[in-house]
Amino acid sequence: MPLERSKRWESPHEFKGARPLVKVFLSQSAFDRISVHSTAEMDDEVGGALIGLWCLDRDTNEQFVVVQHMLPARHTRQGSVYLTFTQDTIVDFHDEIEKNYTGKRIVGWYHTHPRMGIFLSHYDTWLHHNFFPEPWQVALVVEPHKSLAGFFVRRDDGALDPTRYFGFYELNGNMGRSMIEWNNLQSTDEESEGV
């Protein structure tokens, strides 16, 4: 687990008794591309796949995912309060992974909630369970107008709470300047308080 190369970002929901099944590590390059895509359409929802690695730490036996890339979703139906991945969307994701990301897998998905906040709707939860069924797959929701975001991760008992999001680890975030600009997350690095 690359803790020594990461900066921890905490959600306000972190200490309310729930433990995530997996820790999430987000590369700065993936964050940058997600941020650009999230602000490309400020009125309608957009989204895509999170591409990377699912790992098991040999020392602690803890699961974690490393988000290294993102793929914008094509072949979607979208509006101001919905985003629908079609079968063509999923086929396109797998074709792109086969062509350009050998050895990687879909570790989750992301989508925006313009002017709505950070939560998983009933439909988002259905989509997550049906299109991203692995216990270690995660969902990232971004609110681009207020610069808010959070990862929805199944708990160690398998449940997914659509109202409580978790923070993550910014990969290489402690090796210089952090790139994270989401206002609802707090850095655990004392030197960067208020960043």
For the chain, domains (ranges, CATH) are: 3-192 (3.40.140.10)
Q: Which pLDDT tens digit goes with each residue over 68-100?
A: 999 999 998 888 898 889 899 999 999 999 999
- For residue 66, give the nearest of 138, 128, 14 by alpha carbon: 138
pTM, two decimals, is: 0.92
Tell me if 75 sits within 8 A of 111, measured CB to CB. Answer: no
More confident residue, 16 or 156: 156
Q: Please give the Cα distance from 91 to 189 (Å, whole number).
A: 40
pLDDT bracket for residue 142 (50, 70, 90)? very high
More confident residue, 134 or 173: 134
Residue with tokens 């036996």: 61
Q: Please give the Cα distance from 128 to 132 (Å, whole number).
A: 5
Residue 174 has pLDDT above 80, yes or no: no
> Which tokens go with 96?
């792109």
Q: What's residue 84's pLDDT?
A: 87
More confident residue, 109 or 86: 109
Q: What's residue 79's pLDDT?
A: 86
pLDDT bracket for residue 175 (50, 70, 90)? low
pLDDT bracket for residue 193 (50, 70, 90)? very low
Q: What's residue 189's pLDDT?
A: 67
